[in-house]
Amino acid sequence: MPERHFDSILDKFRKKAVKPAETGPAEAAKAEKENETAFTEEENKRLEGYLLLAKEKERSGDQRGAYELYVKYKKEFIEIKIKSGKESAEAFPPEYLEALSEVFKGEKLDLMAMLKAEELTEEYFAKMYPTEQRGEDTARGLTSYRPSWWNGAVNKDMIGPDEETWGQAYERSMRTEAEQFKESVIFTESIQKPKYTNGTQQYGTAEGKDADKDPLLPIIQEVFGDKANRFKLSWDQITNELLPKVKEKIKDEFVNKHITVPDFEVILTPAIISNLQTTLNHPENSQTNTYEWTSTILLKQDGTDSGGYRLMVGYSGNGGAGYVNNAHRGSRWDGRGFRLSVVFEK
């Protein structure tokens, strides 16, 4: 059961007041960083009260009562987080959102915040990558549990000489990437990933039958040909060929709107962000069997690249939001798609 170690996680989800920027979103975020406000006093008291009462019940032996309070805490925490994310997105300079909307054809982009590396504690991973499917997650349509190999021993030829589990290797890789992004502003595609059957499916609906639902499909086909979609592409193909083209399209929109081109990158969505987004905002994406590439490099124990292996996430059959595995950057599995994120530096 969780204890009162949630302060840093709560801090991450505090509401921010951001003024419109004259020169770009980075300046807006920087100018208002000191003006962060917490959850409302009422929300803080209510959430902290749930945790305190749950601990009292746990100490008294009332495990069921404690569990029910933790479930209530998590439900309200998620609701507040979603509300906060919507408000923060509305506060982001509208001209930049309009430019992104032109490229992503009006698709809702979720505003996400990368957690700090020190916030990715064992407690955090236990909460967000649980060992077993939880009843309260099932009730809200979320599949989330660690795959069976999480506690299995790593391949030492890939990872290094020390005894280590795959879960530990995944966590180390996610923490390292979190440190690289620090607290960047990240907008992530919210698009529905489809149920995979033969690779002709399209992103945008669970059944994948409507090509018009994927706003990136015209760009994908511009780069890879008129038969291409989000499947059967290697990590290298997406990273080296597609991402520069998407970035170019976004830059063109900034120029067309006569606004300053900010510092930004287009990336595959990081594994930690995918888990957060699916858990908090889009449990429906935990229910389909499509894998997704991520930007996250599987690292060796010495912090170097494991020979080109990258994390992949999302497969409903082995954990949904909690699923993590790896594949080589050059491989082109039929059942693997992707979603993109646009990262603005603060």
The confidence band for 28, taking pLDDT boundaries of 50, 70 and 90, is: very low
Q: Can you give the pLDDT at residue 21?
A: 40
What does the pLDDT average to over 51-76?
78
Distance of alpha carbon 87 from alpha carbon 329, whole angstroms: 37
pLDDT at 82: 55
pLDDT tens by residue, 86-111 = 555 556 788 998 999 999 998 989 98
- State how far the Cα of 93 lies from the Cα of 25, in Å rounded to an integer: 6
Question: What would the two tokens of residue 221 be?
Answer: 């086909």
Mean pLDDT of 294-320: 98
Average pLDDT, integer, range 321-341: 96
Least confident range of 1-15, 17-31, 38-52, 189-203? 1-15
* Lowest mean pLDDT across 66-75, 159-168, 330-339: 66-75
Rounded to the nearest angstrom, the gap between the alpha carbon of residue 72 and the centroid of all alpha carbons in its chain is 23
Given a cut of 90, is residue 179 above it in pLDDT? yes
pLDDT given for residue 50 in this prediction: 82
% pLDDT > 90, the chain = 63
User: Residue 254 above 70 pLDDT?
Assistant: yes
List, in sequence order, every residue forming a beta bridge with 188; answer none if it has no partner. 110, 341
- Whole-number CA gyration radius for the chain: 20
State yes or no: pLDDT of 214 exceeds 60: yes
Q: Is the pLDDT at 11 greater than 90, yes or no?
A: no
Q: Given a cut of 60, is residue 136 above it in pLDDT?
A: yes
Mean pLDDT of 125-149: 94
In the predicted model, is pLDDT for residue 268 greater than 90?
yes
pLDDT at 9: 30
Tens of pLDDT, residue by residue over 141-153, are: 999 999 999 999 9
CA-to-CA distance for 170 and 283, rounded, in angstroms? 22
* 342: confidence class by pLDDT, cuts 50, 70, 90: very high
CB atoms within 10 A of CB 8: 14
pLDDT score, position 73: 77
Q: Is a pLDDT exceeding 90 seen at residue 44?
A: no
Is the pLDDT assigned to residue 81 strictly greater than 80? no
pTM of the entire structure? 0.78
Q: Is the pLDDT of residue 75 over 80?
A: no
> How far is residue 319's CA from residue 289's CA, in Å, rounded to a whole number?
10
The pLDDT score that the predictor gives to residue 89 is: 56
